Amino acid sequence: MAEMKRIGREFFERDAEQVARELLGMILVRKLKDGRELRARIVETEAYFGEEDPASRACKKGDLRETMKLEGGRILVYGVHNNWLINFVTGKKGDAEAVLLRALEPLNFQEKTKGPGLLTRALEIDKMFHKKIIIDCEEIFVLDDGSQKEIEVIERFRIGVKRDLKKPMRFYIKDSKYVSKK
DNA sequence: CATATGATGGACT
DNA sequence: GTCCATCATATGG
């Protein structure tokens, strides 16, 4: 078994695209109140930016933009169509950037996780986590087991957005059965 | 307080 | 691929 390393602040304080790519293959750990520990591999992510990104909710002023401007490593949760979506804020303080978690591969549990709204339900993530810091959070964090180097990354345009950027900002693990959409 | 708005999911063609 | 139920949130008065 490869060494399990917990991801720190430096990892998140970089460009959203870079973080979105490198998050693939890593393990998201969620400790529930009842003691159960859910583990899932991150298989699909999307990068979002600020004012210059027409698909980002941070292109308009408000709490979403302010949260995305915080330092890398913050958790951002917001609701749409009665689903909670979880993001990790990336970049330095002042940069409006974040990475959306779109799909997970469950490792030790059996719930639907093929989609951003489904995975938050499976992991019991809600607005309580908004603005928390993932670096030293006991209830949720990310582990690197070193499997990332064996992964082949596919690039696609983002899903469900009206206007996208010129460059694909959605990334997923090739051949994963748990990707939300090919 | 009123109301517009989806970074969705699931059902259906 | 298209349609749409549904509801927390953001924003403005």
User: How many Å apart are A11 CA and B12 C1'?
Assistant: 43
Is A86:A77 a contact under the CB 8 Å cutoff?
yes
Arithmetic mean of pLDDT, A81-107: 97
pLDDT of residue A55: 94
Residue boundaries of the structural domains of chain A: 5-173
Q: May I ask the CATH architecture of the domain A5-173?
A: Roll (3.10)
Question: pLDDT tens digits, residue range A134-180?
Answer: 999 999 999 999 988 889 999 999 999 989 999 999 999 999 999 99
A42/A102 Cα distance (integer angstroms): 8
Residue type, position A72, single letter: G
DSSP A182: -
| Contact criterion met (CB below 8 Å) for A78 and A151 | no
* CA of A120, C1' of B3: distance in angstroms: 27
The predicted-structure confidence for A118-140, as pLDDT tens digits, reads as follows 999 999 999 999 999 999 999 99
A44-70: per-residue pLDDT in tens?
A: 999 999 999 999 999 898 999 999 999
Protein residue minimizing CA–C1' distance to C8: A79
Q: Residue with CA nearest C4 C1'?
A: A81
Task: Tell me the pLDDT tens digit for each residue of A19-46.
Answer: 999 999 999 999 999 999 999 999 999 9
Q: If you average pLDDT over every residue of chain A, what do you get?
A: 95
